[in-house]
Amino acid sequence: MLPPDLLLYFMLLALLAEVVGTVGGFGSSLLFVPLAGYFLDYHSVLGVAALYHLSSNAAKIYFFRAGFDRRLILQMGLPSVLAAITGALMSGLLPSALLTLLLAGFLIGLGGLLLLFRQFRLRPVAANAVLGGLASGFLSGLLGTGGAVRGVVLAAYGLPAQVFIATSAIIDFGIDASRSVVYAASGFVHHDDLYLIPLLLGVSVVGTWLGKKIVGILTEQQFQSIVLLLVIAAGGLTLWRAWG
């Protein structure tokens, strides 16, 4: 169990990740997983994050339930779930140190590419949706985060913000449900960490509510720049911790 002072920092960082992930539409895991790595070992982070994101995505689905794209949920969601199971099974075969380095490289590389090629858009075709679902699901299962890849694919369809967030949350819910089963079977879900789940549930509701309030205040370009810089910074800190 975390000491009270560390628990407070953990929850505040989780709240930040939730707000940013909600507004960005890629889920909180992109920031939560590297930040949580400062408090828990990587395999424990995967187990806690999967259970936490189940509640987080349930909150998003509730708050943004007015609209979602059924076609994209089928095209991306089903491949995502299958790939997430595969990635989660592979994560049990790799040491925490290697997973941490892979996560750092992924965050820095993806954040840098999206900053450099800001205007890049995929074609909104079924093949890209399926491939994007496979990639995001596999990365989510292996590293605990793949929502940014899903966000790049969904951006190609020009969805309204609320539909974008709801569609992404429903797909992510399926990913989290499937990988949670694998993580639990692999021993990543520890009894000593379960007290964090109800606390994170409260954080997810508050963070999603705050994120919904923020949607529309910042321009898309302003927010995208802030998010990508945070992602690169998180990757840099993760790399420093892995080599420290």
Per-residue pLDDT of 84-99, as tens digits, reads: 999 999 998 988 888 8
Note the pLDDT of residue 223.
Answer: 67
Close Cβ partners of 62 (under 8 Å, ≥ 6 residues apart): none
What is the b/e burial string over 44-54, where b = at least 16 CB atoms within 10 angstroms of the residue's CB? bbbbbbbbbbb
Question: Where residue 75 falls among pLDDT bands split at 50, 70, 90?
Answer: very high
Nearest to 227 by CA among 16, 59, 49: 16
| pLDDT beyond 70 at 224 | no
Six-digit token pair at 220? 């898309």
Q: CA 220, CA 209: separation in Å to the nearest integer?
A: 19
Nearest to 85 by CA among 220, 177, 215: 177
Within 10 angstroms of residue 112's Cβ, the number of other Cβ atoms is 14
Six-digit token pair at 6? 């560390």
DSSP H or E run through 198: helix 196-214
| pLDDT beyond 70 at 145 | yes
**Cα-trace Rg, the chain:** 16
3-state secondary structure of 108: helix
How far separated are the first and last CA of the chain, in Å rounded?
Answer: 24
Using a pLDDT cut of 90, give the percent of the chain over it. 30
Note the pLDDT of residue 17.
Answer: 86
Nearest to 19 by CA among 41, 4, 35, 2: 35
